[in-house]
């Protein structure tokens, strides 16, 4: 395990090191992250989503584009991600803007999902009121009949978002609450690395 108090100059490399450690130590869903959005007038909301991809462009997740979070992102493209790994005493805060992934990226990821999850993307009217669970189960059965095999197209309203980071903060639990906080801020010349008091 790398020394958590010695930062690299690349926040994506730093993230990769910490994610590798989390995969080894977290009992379930080490890729879980809080995604915080806000309405146009600044009302925030948060939920836990699974990270599905990361590279030097940003952090990707997939969802229904007619969901509450998608509506908020359409009005306010600023987003905040938070990873927290209790077993490691670590968290990462990421702030940035979102962009849509390409149709090709969304198609490729959708094809990897379990069949029932692909049918669920058609059956679920995400974030809308549901009178009773039986309604969802009935809709799922309808789509199971409509798409009986593995050839299930991606719904036109189902896609992904990529967060384009503008800043990172890596927080490491330390004795006596003298925690280590490393920051990265994107600038014209690249990333500037800094430290914050605990």
- Report, as residue numbers or ranges, the catalytic residues: 177
What is the spatial distance between Cα 144 and Cα 128, in angstroms, rounded to a whole number?
21
Helix (H, G, I), strand (E, B) or coil at 15: helix
Closest by CA to 51, choosing from 82, 12, 74, is 82
Strand partners, 25: none
Angle at 79 between CA 27 and CA 156, to 5 degrees: 85
Cα distance between the two ends of the chain: 22
Closest by CA to 193, choosing from 16, 183, 91, is 183
DSSP code for 88: T
Rounded to a whole number of angstroms, the CA Rg of the chain reads: 19
Strand partners, 32: 50
């Amino acid at each position: 395990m790398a020394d958590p108090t010695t930062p690299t100059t690349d926040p994506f490399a730093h993230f990769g090191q910490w994610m590798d450690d989390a995969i080894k130590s977290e009992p379930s869903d080490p890729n879980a992250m809080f995604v915080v959005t806000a309405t146009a007038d600044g009302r925030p909301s948060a939920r836990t989503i699974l990270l599905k991809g990361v590279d030097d462009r940003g952090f990707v997740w997939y969802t229904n584009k007619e969901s509450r979070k998608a509506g908020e992102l359409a009005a306010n493209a600023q987003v905040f991600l938070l990873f927290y790994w209790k077993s490691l005493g670590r968290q990462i805060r990421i702030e940035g803007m979102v962009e849509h992934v390409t149709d090709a990226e969304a198609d490729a990821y959708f094809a990897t999902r379990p069949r029932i999850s692909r049918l669920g993307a058609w059956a679920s009217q995400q974030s809308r009121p549901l009178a009773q669970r039986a309604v969802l189960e009935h809709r799922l059965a309808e789509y199971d009949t409509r798409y009986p095999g593995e050839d299930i197209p991606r719904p036109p309203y189902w896609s992904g978002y990529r967060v384009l980071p503008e800043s990172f903060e890596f927080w490491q639990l330390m004795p006596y609450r003298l925690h280590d906080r490393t920051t990265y801020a994107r600038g014209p010349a690249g990333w500037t690395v800094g430290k914050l008091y605990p």
